[in-house]
Chain A
Amino acid sequence: MPHLPATWKERKEADLDRRVERIQRDHKFQWLRTRKIRRILVAISALLCVGIIPAFVLAGAIVGIVVTIAAWASWWLLRISVRTVADLPERFLDERQLAVRNRAYVYAYLILGWIVAALATIGLVAFVLVSENDSVTLTTTWDQALGLVLTLTLLISLLPSMVVGWSEAGEQPTKLIAES
């Protein structure tokens, strides 16, 4: 009698195994895995991420949510394009993929660090400039706060896949049957 997954954790693990197997062996989305398409996806993802805050601030919550969904969709495509290498647990990766993932996280950390440092510096400088008379009232709306939180959350999730997508060469077509 075959072993049936009993617990919730076992079912979740089995489901993850199936999904990873599917994406690692996938040939259907091979058109997404060329260097050119990967870099286009990275550029689109970056633009959409950067666009979330202006969308919320300038055009309102509805447009902001639409841009956020578009950014999420581009992330989804980018993950398929790089076979989710940046997001998988170690046990699913071979030694080359693991090296790629680890390198991507170092770069992603550096990029995120620079972005956060730049945002904090700009914010502080702006605050110092406008608060010369010590009577500044800072106001913000829920939409603006939501835009900032969504941008940072998406950036944290996206950056490793973006680094992999930008730096990795496109996949070579492979013959499933050996030539004689």
Chain B
Amino acid sequence: MLYSIYATYMGRRSKENEPAVFSRLEEWRLDRGLSRQELSDAVSVHYQTIGYLERGEYSPSLALALQIASELDVPLEELFSLQPFTKSRKGV
């Protein structure tokens, strides 16, 4: 009930209508040999936030996505996508 009140009065879209953001962050992070803590320190977020991003439970702001892409030295579209990734980053 509270969520419907909140959604009504705050003009927030329901979660079902939000576009999902798919992520290959974990794959790339491990490829670069970084722990969540190390990556989170590099981009100034909490390490749990990296976990949320890797599980696709949180969509990053453009600034954060660009920061992560720059830190991992990966093109942004290789990290995050609105479409599910159909093949692994190695093209297999």
Smallest CB separation, B61 vs chain A (Å): 5
The answer to whether B19 has its CB under 8 Å from any CB of chain A is no
Interface residues of A in 160-175 (CB under 8 A from B): 169, 171-172, 174-175
Interface residues of A in 103-135 (CB under 8 A from B): 106-107, 110-111
Given known contacts A94-B44, A178-B34, A178-B35, A172 and B10 CB-to-CB distance under 8 angstroms: no
Q: Are B60 and A110 in contact (CB under 8 A)?
A: no
Since A175-B35, A178-B29 are in contact, a sample of 18 more A-B pairs with Cβ atoms closer than 8 Å, ordered by chain A residue number, is A95-B45, A95-B49, A96-B45, A96-B58, A106-B6, A110-B2, A110-B5, A171-B51, A172-B48, A172-B51, A174-B35, A174-B36, A174-B47, A174-B51, A178-B35, A178-B38, A179-B30, A180-B30
Shortest Cβ-Cβ A-B pairs, 10 listed: A94-B45, A178-B35, A96-B49, A174-B36, A172-B51, A178-B33, A96-B58, A178-B34, A94-B46, A94-B49
